[in-house]
């Protein structure tokens, strides 16, 4: 059985998303120009984009099926989403940002679990800082720690290096690879930079005008 099955359809303001993906690759890269439908595809998988019809499955678990009237809420999909700007809560400390991803347990239990994740991502000394006091790399690690603490089945990376200069991009790509080395679930990254995706991916998909143009393993 394919670990990822996506067959989704959405029409909006003259744009039509008509995406079909089947893949058991661990790391999937999605390439496409701005406006091709890359981010909309990720948001659909995560459950933050309303669809007209289709089906989404991860590892045989149905997240969305319009025919069966299944549409799991984002927090029930076990899908972690890293936004381009990391979407950290600006008035919450690093520790509280990571705790926000934990849904079960007492406050002390959440804090203990969050601190374990901060230690793993080399953020322990920064737990009381606000996102605005962090470097770009530290913000990225905090966002990824908040995702990983939820133990997701899949992680979606939405152009994580798009705003960086070439030197910082190289550094953060290396850090990201190190942080995700032991992750067992599927990873999907979208970008308009083919070199980023070649470095990251086991399988590459190209999207244009809301459709998959080619899929290369």
Contacts for 207 with CB less than 8 Å, ≥ 6 apart: 19, 30, 31, 32, 36, 37, 38, 41, 213
pLDDT (tens digit, 9 = 90+) per residue, 136-148?
Answer: 888 988 999 999 9
Q: Is residue 124 in a domain?
A: yes
pLDDT of the residue at 182: 83
Checking if the pLDDT of 165 tops 80, the result is: no
Residue 1 above 50 pLDDT? no
Task: Tell me the CA distances in angstroms from 21 to 45, 181, 206, one per residue in order.
Answer: 11, 24, 11
Q: Where are the beta strands (DSSP E) in the chain?
A: 4-12, 15-23, 27-31, 53-58, 61-65, 70-71, 79-82, 154-158, 186-191, 203-208, 211-216
Q: Specify if 137 maps to a domain.
A: yes
Q: For 73-98, what is each residue's pLDDT tens digit? A: 999 999 999 988 889 999 999 999 99
pLDDT score for 164: 67
* Sequence-distant (≥ 6) Cβ neighbours of residue 196 within 8 angstroms: 29, 161, 169, 173, 189
Is 121 part of any domain? yes
Is 128 contained in some domain?
A: yes
Do 17 and 56 form a contact (C-beta atoms < 8 A)? no
Work out the number of other CB atoms within 10 angstroms of the CB of residue 11: 11
Identify the pLDDT of residue 53.
98
Residue 189, domain member (yes or no): no
Q: State the pLDDT at residue 179.
A: 80
Q: Which structural domain range is residue 101 located in?
A: 91-151
The pLDDT tens digits for 60-70 are 999 999 999 99
Q: What is the pLDDT of residue 144?
A: 92
Q: Does the structure show a pLDDT above 70 at 157?
A: yes
The answer to the question of residue 120 being in a domain is yes
End-to-end CA distance of the chain: 17
pLDDT tens sequence across 186-212: 999 999 889 889 888 999 999 999 999
Domain count, the chain: 1
10-38 pLDDT per residue, tens: 999 889 999 999 999 999 999 999 999 99
Q: Is the pLDDT of residue 51 over 60?
A: yes
Structural domain contains residue 169: no
Tokens coding 48: 């933050």
Question: Is 102 within a domain?
Answer: yes
> How high does pLDDT run on average in the chain?
92
Calculate the CA dihedral of residues 135, 140, 145, 150 and round it to 10 degrees: 150
Whether the predicted pLDDT of 2 surpasses 80: no
């Amino acid at each position: 059985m394919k670990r990822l099955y996506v067959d989704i359809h959405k029409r909006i303001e003259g744009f039509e998303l008509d995406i079909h993906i089947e893949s058991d690759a661990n790391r999937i890269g999605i390439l496409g120009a701005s406006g091709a439908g890359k981010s909309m595809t990720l948001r659909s998988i995560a459950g933050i984009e309303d669809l007209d019809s289709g089906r989404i499955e991860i590892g045989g678990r149905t997240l969305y099926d319009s025919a069966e009237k299944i549409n799991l809420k984002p927090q029930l999909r076990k899908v972690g989403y890293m936004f381009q700007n990391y979407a950290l809560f600006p008035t919450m400390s690093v520790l509280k940002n990571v705790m926000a991803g934990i849904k079960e347990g007492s406050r002390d239990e959440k804090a203990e679990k969050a601190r374990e994740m901060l230690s793993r991502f080399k953020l322990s000394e920064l737990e009381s800082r606000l996102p605005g006091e962090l470097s770009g790399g530290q913000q990225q690690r905090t966002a990824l720690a908040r995702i990983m603490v939820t133990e997701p089945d899949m992680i979606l990376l939405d152009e994580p290096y798009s705003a960086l200069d070439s030197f910082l991009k190289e550094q953060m790509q290396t850090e990201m690879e190190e942080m995700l080395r032991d992750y067992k679930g599927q990873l999907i990254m979208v970008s308009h930079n083919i070199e980023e995706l070649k470095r990251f991916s086991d399988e590459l998909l190209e999207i244009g005008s809301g459709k998959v143009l080619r899929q290369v393993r």
